[in-house]
Structure 1
Amino acid sequence: MWPNDGALSRDRGARVVAPLLGGGFSLVLVPAWLDALGHVDAALRGPATVLGVLYTLACVLAVPLSVRMSEVTRGVFCMVLVAAGVAFVGLTGIGNSWVLLCGLGIVAALMPTWVIVVVTSVVAAGLSITAWEAGALADQFANVVVLVSVTATVALLVRLTEANEELQAARDQVAALAVVRERQRVARDLHDILGHSLTTITIKAGLARRALETGAEAQARSEIGDVERLARQALGDVRGTVSEFRETSLAAELAGVRETLRAAGIEDDLPTSVDDVEPHLQRVFAHVLRECVTNAVRHSGAGSVVVRLGRTWVEVEDDGGGVAGAPEGNGLIGLRERLAAVGGTVRVGPGRRGGTRVRAAAGTGRERRTGDDGGTAEQS
């Protein structure tokens, strides 16, 4: 069996690259095919034509057919495909070694790396030796280089496609796990806060009911008073918990952002302190930071995120896919409402590194503005 690491992802990448390579290459080089067949001896022209047509069809259909193949069958198919290309070169002459681009491209799209290296090395060595024996090594050297470089390029493109899909899946999983962890934390805290109080209230209410049934009104009043006190205490605990969730700390949010970006494999450039930020703006800026970083992790495909803080502004920039034509979601609308409440605005646009830059600034007089060159300037 061939190694099966990343087989499913490799299939997805190959279905994108290989059909385009095989079909486009064959169509563009139809004149070259006809010219090659025109130089074949009349006795071999028929077999060479049939072999060329079968080789071309196999290259174009290789990836769709390979989806239902086992790893062993896929490997045998690729080896037969390369052998057919080599046979065609043998019939039409070494000058037509360019036809092996299709076969080697299919190998690069479907096979593990070590198979690609072995097959490409064997084909390149065989062509070089044959050209040397025919005294045409200098003429065929460029063809050999093209074969090796194109095969390596196709293999790299397929692997990059795999890596991108795996990275996107990992980012989605990180975002989903963060939501699950937050829900678990809320459930745990509410259980710890309310569990004991509600249990005690239930017991006290039962005692009050039984006291009323037996005519012990004084005991019933006492138990009902305890129920009221416990209920008020539980209500205060719930309000305190909810308030803690909503009263976001900018310093704590920075720490959480650093952990989130690190878990998602995104480089971070974050401030080390929030002391320069106006105290009454730290809560609002914490929400801005959370929303922007969440979007960067889930949607932008960014490789790095930069956060800058000023006395009355915060700026978050990533190097992801950008925001051109993207509609505003509920998160950004909510940020605009929060900034409007403190007389500020939110601006979203392309970043200096091609991604997205979100700048939130409160309208409190003069603010420091980050310039395009990375410096700062005072703005009224």
Structure 2
Amino acid sequence: MAGGRRAVRRLFEPPSYLRGGRVLWASAGLSLVFGLLMLPYAFVVIGDLAPDRRVWAQGIGIVYVAFSLLFVALGETRSWIARMSMCVTLLALGAALVLFMGLQNAWVLVFALCVIIAFTRTAFAGSVVVVVVAALAVAAFTTGVIGETLSELLLLSSVGVAMILFVRLVEANAELRRARDRIAAFAVVEERERFARDLHDILGHSLTTITVKTGLLRRILEKSGREAEAAEAREVELIARQALADVRGTVSGYRVTTLAGELAAAGTVLRSAGIEGRLPQAVDDVHPEARELFGYVVREGITNAVRHSGARELEVRLGRNWVVVKDDGPGRGPIRKGNGLRGLEERMAEKGGTLSVGRGPDGGFLLRAELPAAHDDGAKDEDTR
């Protein structure tokens, strides 16, 4: 049952290109403009109806348009129940309007189809177009108006297919941008690691040799009673040791954990382990001071999923001052905290934050880290726990 719920929830999730709202108004605006341009003609048709049907059609039409606008305004909501309810309501309003206007005016459903296609996943949107066109065709055939309705069926089919292709194109472009960003972030991390490694191996080795040789020279001079020369050698030895410590500190700084780097590496790690990863494509919304710490949280969550959970799917969600890592592993018992989780708790405590470790509503491992409101800057926490 839990697997079925997850499948339905994923079906009604917003398309990936809507996350972050980068192209929200590009696709939604096209749908709205196309639909609004057809409204004047729709109300002309309604005006030719019988008085009793006209009142109902006008009322339903106004509600239909208003609800479509509401759907656009709430298009990015992550609640799959709300999204499913909006889709069903919008289609029901469109069907009621067609019922009063007649099957020969089924083109008014274009508005509903365009909005649903723009704000739902392609698989679901395509199914909606097929079901709507098939239902209209059956109704037209049984009522004997298939000839008058054929143009509407072709219009709905062509517009639906065109809109789906447009959305797929937008999704492909968005995915290319995200892939480019991930590659760039991963390249930066690799370059920092390479530079740190070369710095440690080459300069670190030379300074270690100088320190050891200088120490040996100082001891020889001290044994031979040449105190002045020994003092100079001791000063050179101290300088060499300090330089070696500075190099090691620089190397540690270049190997700092970053949230973008951890997310860039997580995709490869999860794919290698046969786990489907649902990862954020950007970290811009996360408070800059929280990114390094959240990088450790993501790393620990990924490591746990790969090593212990037996999960098939893992999701990482980010907010201004929080991060959630959850998987669908089969485990349901209490979770024993290892050194990694205890270390994370200490890191979070140093920043005044909290770390929650437990099971999700459907089982699996759930890790949530949250920093104080001082890191929030008034941003809304949209996480649904």
Decide whether aligned partners of structure 1 residues 159 and 13 sit closer, same or farther in structure 2, where only a CA change above 3 A counts. Answer: farther
Instruction: Measure, in 1, the Cα distance between the counterparts of 2:208 and 2:14.
Output: 52
**Structure 1 residue aligned with 2:74:** 65
Percent identity of paired positions between Structure 1 and Structure 2: 37
Instruction: Measure, in 2, the Cα distance between the counterparts of 1:167 and 1:177.
Output: 15
In structure 2, the residue corresponding to 1:67 is in which secondary structure?
coil
Cα deviation for residue 214 of structure 1 reads 4.7
**Structure 2 residue aligned with 1:51:** 60
**Structure 1 residue aligned with 2:9:** 2
Instruction: Measure, in 2, the Cα distance between the counterparts of 1:63 and 1:100.
Output: 16
One of 14, 25, 32 as aligned partner of 2:34: 25
Alignment of 1:187-206 (within 5 A): 187-206=196-215
Instruction: Measure, in 1, the Cα distance between the counterparts of 2:188 and 2:131.
Output: 52
In structure 2, the residue corresponding to 1:3 is in which secondary structure?
helix
Decide whether aligned partners of structure 1 residues 129 and 7 sit closer, same or farther in structure 2, where only a CA change above 3 A counts. Answer: closer
- The letter for the 2-side match of 1:138 is G
Cα deviation for residue 134 of structure 1 reads 3.6
- Quick check: 2:122–2:168 contact (8 Å CA) kept in 1? no
Cα displacement string for residues 181-214 of structure 1 (whole angstroms, at most 9, x for unaligned residues): 2232232223222333312211222333344445
Decide whether aligned partners of structure 1 residues 201 and 175 sit closer, same or farther in structure 2, where only a CA change above 3 A counts. Answer: same
**Structure 1 residue aligned with 2:164:** 155
- Quick check: 2:31–2:118 contact (8 Å CA) kept in 1? no
One of 94, 107, 116 as aligned partner of 2:103: 94
- The number of residue pairs the alignment matches comes to 231
Instruction: Measure, in 1, the Cα distance between the counterparts of 2:205 and 2:121.
Output: 59
Which protein shows a greater Rg?
A: 1
- The letter for the 2-side match of 1:92 is M
Matched, 1:169 2:178: yes
Cα deviation for residue 81 of structure 1 reads 0.5
Matched, 1:209 2:209: no
- The letter for the 1-side match of 2:103 is I
Decide whether aligned partners of structure 1 residues 66 and 27 sit closer, same or farther in structure 2, where only a CA change above 3 A counts. Answer: closer
- Please, what TM-score do these two structures have when normalized by structure 2? 0.52
- Quick check: 2:46–2:101 contact (8 Å CA) kept in 1? yes
Task: Could you tell me which runs of 5 or more consecutive residues in structure 2 were left unpaired when the two chains were aligned.
Answer: 1-7, 241-267, 269-385
In structure 1, the residue corresponding to 2:9 is in which secondary structure?
coil
**Structure 1 residue aligned with 2:361:** none
In structure 2, the residue corresponding to 1:66 is in which secondary structure?
coil
Decide whether aligned partners of structure 1 residues 81 and 65 sit closer, same or farther in structure 2, where only a CA change above 3 A counts. Answer: same
Cα deviation for residue 124 of structure 1 reads 1.0
Instruction: Measure, in 2, the Cα distance between the counterparts of 1:185 and 1:75.
Output: 49
Instruction: Measure, in 1, the Cα distance between the counterparts of 2:187 and 2:53.
Output: 67
- The letter for the 2-side match of 1:108 is I
Cα deviation for residue 97 of structure 1 reads 0.8
Cα deviation for residue 55 of structure 1 reads 0.4
Instruction: Measure, in 2, the Cα distance between the counterparts of 1:70 and 1:14.
Output: 20
- Quick check: 1:108–1:116 contact (8 Å CA) kept in 2? yes
Cα deviation for residue 219 of structure 1 reads 12
Decide whether aligned partners of structure 1 residues 42 and 18 sit closer, same or farther in structure 2, where only a CA change above 3 A counts. Answer: farther
- The letter for the 1-side match of 2:92 is A
Instruction: Measure, in 2, the Cα distance between the counterparts of 1:113 and 1:145.
Output: 20
Cα deviation for residue 42 of structure 1 reads 0.8
- The letter for the 2-side match of 1:3 is R
- Quick check: 1:59–1:81 contact (8 Å CA) kept in 2? yes
- Please, what TM-score do these two structures have when normalized by structure 1? 0.53
- Quick check: 1:14–1:63 contact (8 Å CA) kept in 2? no
Decide whether aligned partners of structure 1 residues 179 and 119 sit closer, same or farther in structure 2, where only a CA change above 3 A counts. Answer: closer
**Structure 2 residue aligned with 1:238:** none
Instruction: Measure, in 1, the Cα distance between the counterparts of 2:35 and 2:167.
Output: 20
Instruction: Measure, in 2, the Cα distance between the counterparts of 1:8 and 1:170.
Output: 13
